[in-house]
Amino acid sequence: MDAFTMVIVACVAGEPNCTAAHVSEIAFTTVEACEARIDDITAAMTKEFGKREGFKGRQVSYDVSCMDRAQLKQKFGIAQADT
Protein backbone atom coordinates (compact mmCIF):
# COMPACT_ATOMS: atom_id res chain seq x y z
CA MET A 1 0.00 0.00 0.00
CA ASP A 2 1.38 3.38 -0.99
CA ALA A 3 1.61 6.19 1.54
CA PHE A 4 0.47 9.69 0.75
CA THR A 5 2.34 12.93 1.36
CA MET A 6 0.78 16.29 2.06
CA VAL A 7 2.46 19.09 0.10
CA ILE A 8 1.74 22.56 1.51
CA VAL A 9 2.54 26.01 0.13
CA ALA A 10 1.77 28.74 2.69
CA CYS A 11 1.79 32.41 1.75
CA VAL A 12 1.60 35.20 4.34
CA ALA A 13 0.02 38.43 3.10
CA GLY A 14 2.68 41.04 2.35
CA GLU A 15 5.59 38.61 2.27
CA PRO A 16 7.55 38.31 -1.00
CA ASN A 17 8.09 34.54 -0.65
CA CYS A 18 5.90 31.62 0.31
CA THR A 19 6.89 28.68 2.49
CA ALA A 20 6.70 25.11 1.16
CA ALA A 21 6.69 21.92 3.20
CA HIS A 22 5.74 18.30 2.87
CA VAL A 23 4.35 16.12 5.63
CA SER A 24 4.20 12.34 5.61
CA GLU A 25 2.57 10.32 8.34
CA ILE A 26 2.18 6.58 8.66
CA ALA A 27 -1.60 7.10 8.86
CA PHE A 28 -1.66 8.65 5.37
CA THR A 29 -2.45 5.32 3.69
CA THR A 30 -5.32 6.82 1.69
CA VAL A 31 -5.86 10.23 0.16
CA GLU A 32 -8.85 10.61 2.50
CA ALA A 33 -6.63 10.06 5.57
CA CYS A 34 -4.25 12.71 4.30
CA GLU A 35 -7.04 15.18 3.53
CA ALA A 36 -8.60 14.61 6.96
CA ARG A 37 -5.49 16.16 8.58
CA ILE A 38 -5.30 19.29 6.41
CA ASP A 39 -7.25 21.49 8.83
CA ASP A 40 -5.19 20.39 11.85
CA ILE A 41 -1.87 20.93 10.11
CA THR A 42 -2.75 24.30 8.52
CA ALA A 43 -4.18 25.51 11.87
CA ALA A 44 -0.90 24.59 13.58
CA MET A 45 1.09 26.36 10.86
CA THR A 46 -1.10 29.48 11.17
CA LYS A 47 -0.56 29.49 14.94
CA GLU A 48 3.22 29.29 14.40
CA PHE A 49 3.12 32.15 11.87
CA GLY A 50 1.19 34.21 14.45
CA LYS A 51 4.08 33.81 16.91
CA ARG A 52 6.53 35.44 14.51
CA GLU A 53 7.15 39.12 15.01
CA GLY A 54 5.31 41.15 12.40
CA PHE A 55 3.11 38.25 11.23
CA LYS A 56 0.37 38.49 13.87
CA GLY A 57 -3.00 39.34 12.32
CA ARG A 58 -1.83 38.82 8.73
CA GLN A 59 -3.76 36.54 6.42
CA VAL A 60 -2.24 33.19 5.44
CA SER A 61 -3.33 31.36 2.32
CA TYR A 62 -2.59 27.70 1.66
CA ASP A 63 -2.35 25.47 -1.38
CA VAL A 64 -2.46 21.87 -0.15
CA SER A 65 -2.28 18.60 -2.09
CA CYS A 66 -2.18 14.97 -0.98
CA MET A 67 -0.14 12.86 -3.38
CA ASP A 68 1.19 9.33 -3.59
CA ARG A 69 4.78 8.50 -4.54
CA ALA A 70 4.09 8.38 -8.29
CA GLN A 71 2.32 11.75 -8.24
CA LEU A 72 5.15 13.34 -6.22
CA LYS A 73 7.74 12.05 -8.64
CA GLN A 74 5.77 13.23 -11.66
CA LYS A 75 5.01 16.70 -10.29
CA PHE A 76 8.15 17.54 -8.27
CA GLY A 77 10.76 14.89 -8.98
CA ILE A 78 10.52 13.67 -5.36
CA ALA A 79 11.11 9.93 -5.28
CA GLN A 80 10.69 9.40 -1.53
CA ALA A 81 9.22 11.54 1.23
CA ASP A 82 11.69 12.31 3.99
CA THR A 83 9.49 14.12 6.54
Paired strand residues for 65: 7
Q: What is the pLDDT of residue 1?
A: 54
Better pLDDT: 75 or 19: 19
Look up the pTM and report it.
0.78
3-state class of 56 per DSSP?
coil
Other C-beta atoms closer than 10 Å to the C-beta of 4 total 25
Q: In whole angstroms, what is the distance from residue 49 CA to residue 46 CA?
A: 5
Over 90: is that where the pLDDT of 69 sits? no
* Model confidence pLDDT, tens digit, residues 4-35: 999 999 999 999 999 999 898 888 999 999 99
Q: In whole angstroms, what is the distance from residue 26 CA to residue 3 CA?
A: 7
Q: What is the pLDDT of residue 62?
A: 97
Contacts of 63 (CB under 8 A, 6+ apart): 8, 9
- The mean per-residue pLDDT over the stretch 41-64 comes to 92
